[in-house]
Amino acid sequence: MSSLPDLVNFERVALRYGRGPEVLSDATLDLPQGSFTFLTGPSGAGKSSLLKLCYLSLIPSRGLIRMFGRDSALLTNSERQAIKRRIGVVLQDFHLIDHLSVYENVALPLRVSGEPRASYNDDVVELLQWVGLGHRIQAYPPTLSGGEKQRCAIARAVIAKPDLLIADEPTGNVDPIIGRRLLRLFSEMNRMGATILIATHDTHLIDELDARVLRIENGKIFTGKPS
């Protein structure tokens, strides 16, 4: 695994919001291609901020971030968006679009990249059935439970078969059975070559897989589970 190039590489990265204290300081991280990594740490340690840097939603205050071998600071807007299309993101607050059906929400990344509906229709339906939303395909997000929203957000993140999947507490709102099923989905994606980074508090989830674990404490990244 170590012989493969890094998909994400942080070198002494720091992040602060406005004039506040540094949320991350001298964070160094590498995610080799095809790796499966859990990111853990106490609330407020900077997990979500680190993930935002990984999916190019924030720019670091200092330090170097390489994404897919490219210095993120030198990316043009179109290159940045092209890289974003290679990243699937699952956020804690789901970010579903309320006036679009579950089907439309999940198909969104494919629609944005200009693919015709006929080419992805079957994939979207199949994936929704896999995540247990087959019966809610035409429902709208405001009518979904928290767990259903979570699964819809996950389906949207993986539908375009991203090279990198970033998930922030992806199993936080689902029951253990669905949680295990989602983990199997992530494992399957990883087996097919995707790089997975999951931020979670759930130690049971971490124990389910033999994957690398990073922990974040006081803005710094360490390897291994918390003691």
Partner 1 sequence: MNAAPNSAQISGPAEAPLLPSRLRNARALWVVLIIMAMLAGCALLFARGSMRLSGDWQAQLSDTLTVQVMLESSEDWDAQTRRAGAALADAAPGADIELVSQEDAKALLRPWLGNASLPDDLPVPGLINLTGQNISAAQIQTALDGAGITANVDDNSRYADQLRGTARRLVGIGLGTLLLILIAGLSVNIFATRAGMTAQKDIIRVLVQVGASDKFIARLFVGQALRRGALGAAIGLSLATLLWMILSITNDWGALGWTGLGSGLKDLIWLLALGVIFALICAAAAGVTAARQLAYERKRL
Residues engaged in binding partner 1 (CB under 8 A):
55, 57-59, 77-78, 81-82, 84-85, 89, 95-97, 99-101, 103-104, 108-109, 111-113, 117-118, 121-122, 124-126, 128-129, 132, 134-135, 137-138, 156, 160
Q: Give the whole-angstrom CA distance, residue 186 versus residue 34.
A: 12
Note whether 67 and 8 are within 8 A (CB). yes
Span between the terminal Cα atoms of the chain, in Å: 26
- In the complex, least distance from residue 108 CB atom to partner 1, rounded to whole angstroms: 5
Q: Which is nearer to partner 1, 121 or 218 (CB)?
A: 121
Closer of 145 and 203 to partner 1 (Cβ): 145
The 22-32 sheet, strands edge to edge: 22-32, 6-16, 62-67, 70-71
Q: How far is the CB of 17 from partner 1 (least distance, A)?
A: 12
CB of 226 to partner 1, least distance (A): 29
Could you give the C-alpha distances from 156 to 92, 127, 131, 173, in angstroms and in order?
14, 9, 11, 16
Find residue 166's DSSP bridge partners: 89, 197
Closest to partner 1 by CB, 101 vs 187, is: 101
Q: Which is nearer to partner 1, 113 or 203 (CB)?
A: 113
Nearest to partner 1 of 178, 213 (CB atom): 178
CB of 106 to partner 1, least distance (A): 11
Q: Which residue has the tokens 């759930």?
A: 202
- Least separation in angstroms between residue 101's CB and partner 1 is 7
Distance of CA 160 to the CA centre of its chain: 13
Closest listed residue to residue 98, CA positions, set 89, 88, 108: 108
Pick 26 or 104: Cβ nearer partner 1 = 104
* Helix H or strand E segment including 112: helix 102-112
Beta carbon of residue 149, minimum distance to partner 1 (angstroms, whole number): 13
